[in-house]
Structure 1
């Protein structure tokens, strides 16, 4: 009898959690998101066969409400790691099939988007292509309920769902249009002031042209102040970050730089390099990044 009562209690608790989730989000969703200031990407386990859409959520800050961006996923992008050109919406599912780690996949997608992606949310459910707002809410609820039934609280999916709930009717934009719109949004965040306090120099040692410019573009969209980009012939095996003696003003920008790379970075104080490049932060892009 005790086992039966315990079982019924568990089932009723799960049902109650599921039933109250929409009410919880309606009442407290905005407070839940306040201050997170990140970009999340929603994708599926399955590589889409037809024209697809990639959904990117800005999770909000103390000053700005969450926003959702629907990006044309059929655009061809270069996938780092020697994979060549693939449709944007296929990048994350492809790398998962290849057995790449979460950090490797996030870095590859960040480069493909040209944006500082904090997290990829991968659903087992197929995402309708293109999805209406109600369809996107429905597929997120379905995934959310499965996890809540197992007493797991999927914070990232809650954050993404709140961005979808606050979005108007979804309109698909090109990658270039989305980059500009997200860049304008990120320029308004409070952290931009912290980013602009840190001057950045980027040195490409890979021999592959354009690597420094791509990273600079991403940092500038995030509000960073890149004062110099250059290529040198002396190759470095590992990507390194050198900072001046006062690292605190560059901590925020360092966290953004990390999203761009699939491997841990060597970070150290090196006033000689920062003085040489006349910046507070010097990023040496190494061979481990291509």
Structure 2
């Protein structure tokens, strides 16, 4: 408030103070919002109004800024992105502030951006929408229907919705459709996370020394919708299979949090992949244990079509 008072004092230099106060008061009282405020509070006296000149001056000045808004980045108001409101409390006129529409939109965009998280996923996938996918491609029709149905079912009944398992050859668009799922969920304020599994699992090994492993696992376990992209492309080890994948899936099954997958392997081929590691050889039982948490909690969808990366 001192800055406003100093502005008024600077304006008053070289003028008779009483005449200046009358002039500025007259100017402030002509402002439509000030008039409306005073009309709604007929008990406000002239003395209260005179004592409140600094608040009224700031209100009018900042409202004029808003009427000729230069954009959020160049907002000249003392509280950037906030509009003033007059309030009458305890025989005093004060100011309160609320975020302007541009500020609200900016915050909403930030919030929306935070709903989509990813590890090692291309930007074009994160921008995918159902509208941007060629719906005339009959080879991917079943996958698109399944993806749309998942979003609808999850929105209506999240605890009872199965995940999806997209199986298909390289480049047929499995990951891109999952990107569209993420954006459809974002529009409904549902957070999701997509992880490119080979790179992410490599990162987790480094997280042990950095002491960030538990933090990363905790987030991936608890996110509303998790998408494990290209599962089966990772180099398997007992630690990855049992301590990472098994731990994540066990938690999500218990909490009824759906997990979606893309893979070049079908269920049986992925089970075979999980069963073998160079260090421990073949461990069929442990592979089956992980696959139980995938088979029974996903819908298998075969994605066909040409390789779009060529």
Assess same fold via TM > 0.5: no
Please identify which structure carries the higher helix content: 2
For normalisation by structure 2, the TM-score amounts to: 0.28
Please identify which structure carries the higher strand content: 1
Pair member with larger Rg: 2
For normalisation by structure 1, the TM-score amounts to: 0.29
